[in-house]
């Protein structure tokens, strides 16, 4: 396992330093990581500072790492790279659980570990790969029928990207079909992300449904970081606000 972790982590960590970010969205995350880091260092961080363009778990975790790294650009990329290595290990574990065949699990591991596109995304300061890790972890614990753990990772995914809120409607029915019972603790955990985010939105703006930035803010925030994208961002994001 140690050799597998080393083998899949090295190209992703190197990619974090030498590969570009996949999309301009990464620079919004980088800006937020830097802002959170500054407030954490100053001791002025408040719950309203979690409110922003996307759900806050990835940015907050990267800001904590950045307290030691001291560079929000690389901190965000390194966090994603670490999750990318974790995805490879989870692919192996999930495949082994589904097939009970070590050769098949190893093949699945190699397919994802050596996939250039996955390495590229793992080296980008975005939520795609960390979110995939949390989803796979939830799936793994569902397969093992550890429902509280499955709900916990699903909730962490739900604090990273909003589409994971659908697990509220997935994990309890799956448990009921398997065991003819539903864990109320797991249900409560699954409800935390949407309730928390509605509270943060209300606390930050006075409107509990205010979960999108005005489109102009993303343009203002990204343009100094990626000047070549200024025209593209203006055309793309001034027209519509992106979902949180």
Distances from the Cα of 111 to the Cαs of 94, 122, 170, 232, in angstroms? 14, 15, 28, 34
pLDDT 10s digits, 55-76? 999 999 999 999 999 999 999 9
As for how many domains the chain has, the answer is 1
Residue 10 domain-assigned (yes or no): yes
Residue 227 domain-assigned (yes or no): no
Residue 127 domain-assigned (yes or no): yes
Residue 230 domain-assigned (yes or no): no
pLDDT at site 1: 65
In this predicted model, which residue has the larger pLDDT, 23 or 58? 58
In three-state form (DSSP H/G/I as H, E/B as E, the rest C), the secondary structure along 82-133 is HHHHHHHHHHHHHHHHHHCCHHHHHHHHHHHHCCHHHHHHHCCCCCHHHHHH
Please check the confidence at residue 119 and state whether its pLDDT lies above 80. yes
Residue 226 domain-assigned (yes or no): no
pLDDT 10s digits, 206-226? 888 777 544 444 434 444 444
pLDDT at site 52: 82
Residue 163 domain-assigned (yes or no): yes
pLDDT at site 222: 43
pTM of the model: 0.85
Helix axis angle, 171-179 relative to 147-158, nearest 10°? 170
Residue 117: domain span: 2-211
pLDDT at site 208: 83
Average pLDDT, the chain: 87
Please check the confidence at residue 232 and state whether its pLDDT lies above 70. no
Residue 217 domain-assigned (yes or no): no
Q: How many CB atoms lie within 10 A of CB 75?
A: 25
Distances from the Cα of 238 to the Cαs of 126, 218, 230, in angstroms? 21, 9, 11
Distances from the Cα of 35 to the Cαs of 63, 101, 115, 138, in angstroms? 8, 47, 33, 30
Please check the confidence at residue 86 and state whether its pLDDT lies above 60. yes
Mean predicted confidence (pLDDT) in 147-155: 98
Residue 44 domain-assigned (yes or no): yes
In this predicted model, which residue has the larger pLDDT, 5 or 11? 11
CA atoms within 13 A on the CB side of 20: 5
Please check the confidence at residue 233 and state whether its pLDDT lies above 70. no
CA dihedral 227, 29, 68, 119 (to 10 degrees): -90
Angle made by CA atoms 23, 25, 27, in degrees to the nearest 5: 100
Q: How confident is the model at residue 180 (pLDDT cuts 50, 70, 90)?
A: very high
The Cα–Cα gap between 238 and 244 comes to 16
């Amino acid at each position: 396992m140690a050799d597998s972790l080393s083998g899949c982590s090295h190209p992703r960590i190197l990619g974090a330093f030498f590969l570009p970010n996949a999309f301009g969205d990464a620079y919004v995350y980088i800006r937020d990581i830097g802002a959170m880091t500054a407030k954490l260092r100053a001791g002025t961080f408040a719950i309203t500072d979690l409110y922003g363009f996307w759900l806050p778990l990835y940015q907050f975790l990267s800001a904590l790492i950045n307290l030691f790294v001291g560079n929000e650009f690389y901190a965000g990329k390194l966090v994603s790279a670490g999750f990318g290595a974790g995805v490879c290990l989870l692919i192996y574990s999930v495949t082994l659980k589904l097939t009970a065949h070590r050769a098949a699990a190893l093949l699945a591991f190699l397919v994802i570990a050596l996939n250039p596109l996955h390495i590229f995304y793992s080296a980008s300061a975005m939520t795609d790969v960390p979110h995939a890790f949390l989803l796979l972890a939830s799936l793994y614990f569902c397969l093992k029928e550890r429902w509280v753990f499955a709900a916990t990772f699903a909730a962490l995914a739900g604090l990273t990207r909003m589409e994971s809120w659908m697990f509220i409607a997935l994990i309890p029915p799956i448990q009921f079909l398997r065991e003819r019972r539903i864990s109320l603790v797991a249900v409560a955990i699954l409800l935390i992300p949407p309730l928390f985010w509605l509270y943060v939105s209300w606390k930050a703006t006075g409107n509990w449904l205010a979960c999108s930035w005005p489109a102009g803010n993303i343009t203002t925030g990204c343009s100094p970081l990626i000047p070549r994208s200024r025209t593209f961002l203006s055309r793309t994001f001034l027209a519509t606000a992106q979902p949180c």
